[in-house]
């Protein structure tokens, strides 16, 4: 989308009729702010939404060295972005520029109004999304600063966590950034303290854990009630779909995600076979919109919230969280997905986060620009990664054990790979060893057909092999197959753990009221569309189960 078009979507002006309609839907109150008064400040949570009746409101960015004006709102304009729906802190401040009068609306009232006024809802939601895109694209917006080395696994972890959770930040590479010495001195730290996270002129954290980082910057939301109608564990496509449908249909819904929303699909840089997106959609865009939908309908998304184990109290599921907390669910949906297996190559473990990666996003692409990289795997995820990385790396080696990409990869991706000059497919090949001094520099390749071995200089290896289900937190009452995937459906009626007189629903596990959807489910189709469909379908079974209680 052209910059001009994005600007017009991001900053629409409501006419008098639209303002009157919205103020009625939202039960808005009229408030006067005097010149220089703050309507909300950067870092505020649960801040108000404002429609300008008269005067001007200046939006200021304080994340850089000096305050910067982002925009000035006039009559008919409105403040805010997606933070209103996600509950995250504001990334900017709003200050009255001269005396002004505004309609002031709480976050809860805004959510209700968006559900009641569909035309205005479209205008406001599209503006929220476009504003965040403009900030993300803006070279003048700093956001958080992450100062650390490209050769540090912890620096990669922090950057990866922030990026996947859609937190705006700027990376300062201690290896190459010319301002790094000044910034280290300014924050009173040394290179040994990195990675460090800072905001404006304030140092926030030194090498934080993901949990500490989420708590400090305000993106982790506590769960507000003890009992939910539906608790979803995992925020991939299946979990987010269940959250949208569950919350929109009136179920008190909570989603628990251990690291970041989106799952494996969230890291895909181009999904071209998802219905309704003929030009393709990135996993990040799909995830971002799903999060907004879930929050719009009132689902509670808590990240990072690892689940440690599951117990039962009569008909209820007790979900135990990291830190000895727990919540109770009338119904539980297991949507934890899968993770890719390590290759098993010699010395591989020491290069994880330092040249060995399990996703291919702009974060990883920055690390290998202009170099030669290897992608391992013959499925769609590997194919999408190879095509994406070919736009950044000098050359991509696509490594498969078999002899034919067509066996497990969609034909459109195979054709794209065949048409990309700097992708070389290596069949019958595995990586047997990895080399480097703290950071990956080369790999040893073995051809199973010829017995030949050779060494290749490699900046990074991206692995997309195998699918290990995330089910280690489940008790024996939840039956799994030999590979650890959760079994569902009518065949479980003979299970010793099944206690109901009726047979299990299609997506129900061996415990009544506990469902599974998406890649974690045995015999599921490993596609984004099917995961979304299963997440939506599970909610219908939840309704049926709740009628029995």
pLDDT (tens digit per residue) in 86-120: 889 999 999 999 999 999 999 889 998 999 889 99
Q: Are residues 475 and 387 in the same domain?
A: no
Q: What is the CATH number of the domain that holds 413?
A: 3.50.50.60
Q: What is the CATH number of the domain that holds 83?
A: 2.60.120.10
The CA distance from 206 to 193, in Å, is: 6
The whole-chain average pLDDT of the chain stands at 94
Q: Are residues 281 and 236 in the same domain?
A: yes
Structure tokens at 67: 């305050």
pLDDT-derived band at 26 (thresholds 50, 70, 90) equals confident
Three-state DSSP state, 108: helix
Is 138 inside a domain boundary?
Answer: no
Three-state DSSP state, 385: helix
In this predicted model, what pLDDT tens digit does every residue of 358-378 receive, in sequence order?
999 999 998 888 999 999 999
Q: Are residues 11 and 124 in the same domain?
A: yes
Taking CA atoms, 407 is separated from 96, 387, 472, 492, 530, in Å, by 62, 18, 30, 32, 20
Q: What is the CATH number of the domain that holds 190?
A: 3.40.30.10
In this predicted model, what pLDDT tens digit does every residue of 506-531 receive, in sequence order?
999 999 999 999 999 999 998 999 99
The CA distance from 173 to 1, in Å, is: 30
Is 344 inside a domain boundary?
Answer: no
What confidence score (pLDDT) does residue 1 get?
57
Say if residues 312 and 511 touch (Cβ distance below 8 Å).
yes
What's the rounded mean pLDDT across residues 162-186? Answer: 94
pLDDT-derived band at 224 (thresholds 50, 70, 90) equals confident
Strand partners, 433: 346, 444
Q: Are residues 113 and 28 in the same domain?
A: yes
Which residue, 78, 104, 133, sits at the end of a domain?
133
N residues, the chain:
549
Q: Are residues 184 and 286 in the same domain?
A: no
Q: Are residues 458 and 477 in the same domain?
A: no
Is 222 inside a domain boundary?
Answer: no
pLDDT-derived band at 414 (thresholds 50, 70, 90) equals very high
What confidence score (pLDDT) does residue 466 get?
83
What's the rounded mean pLDDT across residues 395-417? Answer: 95
Q: Are residues 289 and 375 in the same domain?
A: no
Of 454, 435, 260, the closest CA to residue 359 belongs to 260
Structure tokens at 543: 């309704």
Per the structure, the count of domains in the chain is 4
Say if residues 487 and 522 touch (Cβ distance below 8 Å).
yes
What confidence score (pLDDT) does residue 24 get?
86
In this predicted model, what pLDDT tens digit does every residue of 432-454 receive, in sequence order?
999 999 899 999 999 999 999 99
Burial 499-516 (b: 16+ CB within 10 A, else e): eeeeebbebbbbbbbbbb
Domain span at 300: 227-339+469-481+490-548
pTM above 0.85, yes or no: yes
In this predicted model, what pLDDT tens digit does every residue of 49-92 receive, in sequence order?
999 999 999 999 999 888 999 999 999 999 999 999 888 999 99
Say if residues 507 and 517 touch (Cβ distance below 8 Å).
yes
Is 428 inside a domain boundary?
Answer: yes
For residue 2, pLDDT beyond 70: no
Taking CA atoms, 92 is separated from 7, 24, 135, 521, in Å, by 17, 27, 10, 42
Q: Are residues 204 and 239 in the same domain?
A: no
Structure tokens at 56: 């001007």
Q: What is the DSSP letter of 353?
A: T
């Amino acid at each position: 989308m052209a910059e001009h078009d994005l600007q017009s979507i991001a900053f629409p002006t409501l006419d008098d009729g639209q303002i009157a309609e919205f103020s009625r839907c939202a039960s808005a109150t009229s408030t006067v702010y005097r010149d220089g008064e703050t309507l909300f400040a950067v870092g505020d949570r649960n801040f108000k939404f404002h429609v300008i009746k008269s005067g001007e409101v200046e939006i200021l960015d304080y994340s850089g060295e000096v305050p910067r004006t982002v925009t000035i709102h006039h009559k008919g304009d409105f403040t805010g972005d997606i933070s209103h729906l996600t509950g995250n802190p504001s990334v900017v401040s709003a200050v009255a520029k001269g005396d002004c009068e505004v309609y002031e609306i709480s976050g809860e009232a805004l959510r209700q109004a968006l559900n009641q006024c569909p035309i205005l809802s479209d205008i406001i939601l599209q503006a929220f999304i476009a504003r965040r895109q403009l900030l993300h694209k803006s070279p003048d917006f700093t956001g958080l600063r992450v100062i650390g080395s490209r050769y540090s696994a912890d620096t990669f972890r922090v950057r990866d966590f922030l990026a996947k959770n859609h937190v705006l930040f700027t990376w300062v590479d201690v290896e190459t950034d010319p301002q790094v010495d000044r910034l280290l001195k300014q924050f009173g730290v040394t290179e040994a303290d990195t990675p460090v996270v800072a905001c404006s002129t304030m140092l926030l954290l030194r090498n934080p854990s993901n949990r500490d980082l989420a708590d400090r910057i305000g993106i982790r939301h506590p769960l507000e009630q003890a009992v939910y109608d539906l608790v979803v564990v995992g925020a991939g496509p299946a979990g987010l779909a269940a959250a949208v449908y569950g919350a929109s249909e009136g179920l008190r819904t909570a989603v628990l995600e251990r690291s970041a929303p989106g799952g494996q699909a969230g890291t895909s840089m181009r999904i071209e076979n998802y219905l309704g997106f003929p030009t393709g959609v990135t996993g990040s865009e799909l995830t971002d919109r799903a999060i907004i939908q879930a929050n719009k309908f009132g689902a509670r998304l808590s990240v990072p919230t690892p689940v440690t184990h599951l117990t039962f109290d009569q008909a209820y599921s007790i979900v135990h969280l990291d830190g000895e907390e727990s919540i109770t669910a009338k119904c539980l949906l297991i949507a934890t997905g899968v993770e890719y297996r390590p290759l098993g190559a010699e010395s591989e473990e020491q290069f994880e986060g330092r040249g060995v990666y399990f996703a291919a996003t702009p974060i990883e692409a920055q690390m290998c620009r202009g170099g030669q990289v290897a992608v391992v795997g013959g499925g769609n995820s590997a194919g999408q990664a190879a095509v994406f990385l070919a736009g950044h790396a000098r050359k991509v080696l696509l490594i498969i054990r078999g002899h034919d990409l067509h066996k497990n990869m969609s034909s459109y991706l195979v054709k794209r790979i065949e048409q990309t000059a700097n992708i070389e497919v290596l069949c019958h090949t595995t990586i047997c060893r990895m080399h480097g001094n703290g950071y990956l520099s080369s790999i040893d390749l073995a051809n199973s057909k010829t017995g030949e071995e050779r060494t290749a200089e490699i900046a990074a290896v991206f692995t997309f092999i195998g699918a290990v289900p995330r089910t280690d937190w489940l008790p024996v009452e939840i039956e799994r197959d030999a590979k650890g995937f959760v079994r569902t459906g009518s065949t479980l009626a003979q299970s010793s753990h099944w206690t109901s007189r009726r047979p299990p629903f299609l997506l129900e596990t061996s415990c009544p009221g506990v469902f599974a959807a998406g890649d974690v489910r045995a015999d599921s189709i490993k596609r984004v569309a099917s995961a979304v469909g299963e997440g939506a379908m599970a909610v219908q079974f939840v309704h049926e189960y709740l009628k029995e209680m």
